[in-house]
Amino acid sequence: MNIEEKIIKLKNEKNAIILAHNYQIVPIQDLADFRGDSLQLSIQAKKSQAPLIVFCGVRFMAETAAILNPEAKVILPVEDAGCPLADMINVEQLREFKALHPEAKVVCYINSSAAVKAESDVCCTSANAVQIINSFPEDETILFVPDKNLGSWVAKKSGRKVIVWDGYCPVHQWGFTRRAYEHLKNLYPDYKMIAHPECDEDIIEVADEVLSTSGMERYVKEHDRLIIATDSSFTDYMQHLYPQKKLISLNTRAFCNNMRKTNLKNLLNALEKEETIVEVPPETSEKALSALNKMLELSN
Ligand code: 13P
Ligand code: SF4
Do 212 and 131 form a contact (C-beta atoms < 8 A)? no
- Per DSSP, 165 falls in state P
Q: Which of 259, 260, 262 to mutate to test the pocket of ligand 2 (most atoms within 8 A of CB)?
A: 259
Name the percent of the chain lying above pLDDT 70. 100
Distance between Cα 214 and ligand 1 center (Å): 9
Residues of the chain with confidence (pLDDT) below 50: none
What pLDDT is stored for residue 165 in this prediction? 98
What pLDDT is stored for residue 121 in this prediction? 98
Distance CA 14, CA 7 (A): 11
What pLDDT is stored for residue 300 in this prediction? 75
pTM: 0.97
Pocket of ligand 1 (CB under 6 A): 22, 37-38, 111, 125-126, 169, 196, 198, 212-213
pLDDT for 192-219, tens place per residue? 999 999 999 999 999 999 999 999 999 9
Distance set, CA 108 to CA 31, 72, 118, 147, 230 (Å): 31, 25, 10, 9, 21
